[in-house]
Each structure stands twice: as structure tokens, then as C-alpha cells.
Structure 1
Amino acid sequence: CLSCANVACGRMNEQHAVQHFEATQHPLAIEINEKYVYCYICDEYIIGDNAQGDIGSLRSALTDIGT
């Protein structure tokens, strides 16, 4: 979760990330190995970045630490 740093499995496993979204309405999650950002409100992956470059910075940081 990019709102509160909750770590949970995604839709392909036990769906804890979906349950977290339903309980908290925190819309954005990241898959740390592949660095995919997912929006639960849009029900889509976010391919690009926001205007401030936050998603790109996060992806770079995860790459730098070798996740």
C-alpha cells in the first residue's frame, strides 16, 4: 500500500491487498519485485508517472536496493 506501507499479497494469492483496499480505501499498491503500481479505484495498472515523478522515484529506489 502506498498510503500506509501495509504489505499484503495480491489478487493472484490470498487477495489481502484487495481486502486492505476495501477496508481502508487506500487506492494505490505496488508490486515490489516488478515495480507495478496498481490503482484499485481505476482497476488498472499505472504505466507512467505522476507530474511530480513520485512513482518513478519509488521505482528507482526499489531498483537501487535490489528488490
Structure 2
Amino acid sequence: KVPHKVPNKSETHILELLLKSPHITAAEIASEIGITDRAVRKIISALKGKGLVERVGSNKSGYWKVNLK
């Protein structure tokens, strides 16, 4: 069984985008990888739940911090 912390393909792609551009928006991620904004927000929520990403600062002017160990 695969541990739940291991990201799937979409999660991995989003993590790469967040590492490359921490100020990227869900809409920009969605257009970059070809899925809906809502799907991106769901995946980011799952990544937050796994402790892999966190939002630093406000929703408008903050950025994404990726926690890879």
C-alpha cells in the first residue's frame, strides 16, 4: 500500500509549480496544467492536509511554502 503522503501525478505537478513560483494563483495553475480552478483548490487542500504546503500571509498577497523533507 502506498503511504497517503506520497503525491499523485497532479499533486506532484502542482508542487513543482508552487516551488517554481510561490505567488502563483489557482487560476494560473489550472490553465497551466489543464484542469479546473476547483480541482486545483481541492488538490491544494489535500496537500495542506498532508502537510506538504502551507499558505504564508494573506490570500491576496501571501505565497505558498512547500514543505518537502
TM-score of Structure 1 vs Structure 2, range by shorter chain:
0.3 to 0.5
TM-score, structure 1 as length reference = 0.32
Looking at both structures, which has the greater relative contact order when contacts are Cα pairs under 8 Å and sequence separation is at least 6?
2
TM-score, structure 2 as length reference = 0.32
